[in-house]
Amino acid sequence: MPLRQVYAGVMSGTSLDGVDAVVTDLAPDDGSVCRLLGAAHLPFEPTLRDEILALQRAGDDELARAARAAIALADTYAQAILAAVSHAGLSAADVIAAGVHGQTVRHRPEAGWTLQLNDPARVAERTGMTIVADFRSRDIAAGGQGAPLVPAFHAALFRGDAHRAIVNLGGIANVTELPPRGVVRGFDTGPANVLLDLWHARHRRATFDGNGAWSQTGRVDDALLAAFMSDPYFARVPPKSTGRDLFNGEWLDAKLAGRNVAAADVQATLVALTARTIADAVRTHCAATTEVLVCGGGANNAALMDALSRALAPRSVRTTAALGVAVEHVEALAFAWLAREALGGRPGNLPEVTGARGLRVLGAIYPR
């Protein structure tokens, strides 16, 4: 059957593990929301990853360094998109547009701005495709948080008869509440992988704790967990969003100051922090939820998933793979969907999620 609405989507998140790209039919003949046609993952070159991390904080020659990093990111995005298109057995001409979010390096919605490194014009040139980018700024201009942006897509893809919550375990964790009917809500709960990866890299040299193996050698330090959870962000009422601007190495070091806690115990306590803050958020703000679907890279961490299942009991906890959507594809699919909404002149935000003054069309368009 002919393909009708072929879009690409790209995501590189707070975890900085690389770029995920998908190609999808957003009007498949079976009546579903989308059908995956192809996918690709490209890890970041270590020098690019290090520079993105460095650009999270003030430093020398920031403007030139950010511009150079944006060029390198754009080339990586283009390469990932073309790899996904090739995997789908398609050509650039078959793709209506690609949604390219960019890499968030500063997120300050309370000050009225957010910054994503990107060069969408370069991606358009490299791919020969229409590119949609800059999804956050219009929502922020309308008084919103500019994040999270995926709940509208979660509603389109995962809403059903059960009262569900979708939990994304990226660098930052966010939750979307999906009642069978009525208002969809969502917000960032706090750190997921960002502190786990940081602490693991500091002590074990690898960039992440595969399957949570190291964390399982430690034990939760209750006093340290209480210190972590004392941060005012966790008690804030949504709408709210966060990132490395708050949850970073300096934050962690300040909480650890004056404490003598073994490194593996810190890792185990960070797992508990992620699970506890998500569970508290669900109980406080999504109390009617009976079923939780998890996506994002953290869904592959067995220790984290086990801790989350215990913390959320008696609610059932599964990954989105149970509904046929791989955990690593959800956000990239969301930006393909947001690109389609932008081209159609339809709103992509949910004011109940972001706090914006109303519905807004999101994204700037760079024609092929």
**pLDDT on residue 15:** 77
Extents of the domains making up the chain: 6-148+328-366, 151-323
In order along its 368 residues, the chain shows pLDDT tens digits of 455 899 999 999 787 889 999 999 999 988 899 999 999 999 999 999 999 999 998 899 999 999 999 999 999 999 999 999 999 999 999 999 999 999 999 999 999 999 999 999 999 999 999 999 999 999 999 999 999 999 999 999 999 999 999 999 999 999 999 999 999 999 999 999 999 999 999 999 888 898 999 999 999 999 999 999 999 999 999 999 999 999 999 999 999 999 999 999 999 999 999 999 999 999 999 999 999 999 999 999 999 999 999 999 999 999 999 999 999 999 999 999 999 999 999 999 999 999 999 999 999 999 99
Q: Which residues pair with 38 in a beta bridge?
A: 23
* Secondary structure (3-state) at 3: coil
For residue 96, the one-letter residue type is I
* Secondary structure (3-state) at 336: helix
Q: Are strands 103-108 and 131-133 parallel, antiparallel or unpaired?
A: unpaired
CATH label, 6-148+328-366, candidates 3.30.420.40, 2.20.25.90, 3.40.1380.10, 3.50.50.60: 3.30.420.40
d(CA 140, CA 284): 26
d(CA 97, CA 129): 6
The per-residue pLDDT for range 144-199, each reduced to its tens digit, is: 999 999 999 999 999 999 999 999 999 999 999 999 999 999 999 999 999 999 99
Q: Which CATH architecture has domain 151-323?
A: 2-Layer Sandwich (3.30)
User: Comparing 6-148+328-366 with 151-323, is the CATH topology the same?
Assistant: yes
Please, is 156 exposed, middle or buried when counting C-beta atoms within 10 Å of its C-beta (0-12, 13-18, 19+)? middle
Q: Which two tokens stand for residue 256?
A: 């650890």
Q: Which two tokens stand for residue 183?
A: 């208002």
Catalogue the E-assigned strands of 135-259: 164-169, 172-178, 185-191
239: left (phi over 0), alpha (psi -120 to 50) or beta: beta
The per-residue pLDDT for range 291-320, each reduced to its tens digit, is: 999 999 999 999 999 999 999 999 999 999
Please name the residue ranges forming H helices in 55-181. Answer: 62-87, 120-127, 137-141, 151-158
* Secondary structure (3-state) at 291: strand
**pLDDT on residue 1:** 43
Sequence-distant (6+) residues with CB within 8 A of 325 are 36, 157, 295, 333
d(CA 89, CA 86): 5
**pLDDT on residue 181:** 95
Closest CA to 265 of 203, 205, 208: 203
Place of tokens 């939820």: 289
**Percent of the chain surpassing pLDDT 90:** 94
H/E element, 10: strand 6-11
Q: Which residues pair with 364 in a beta bridge?
A: 133
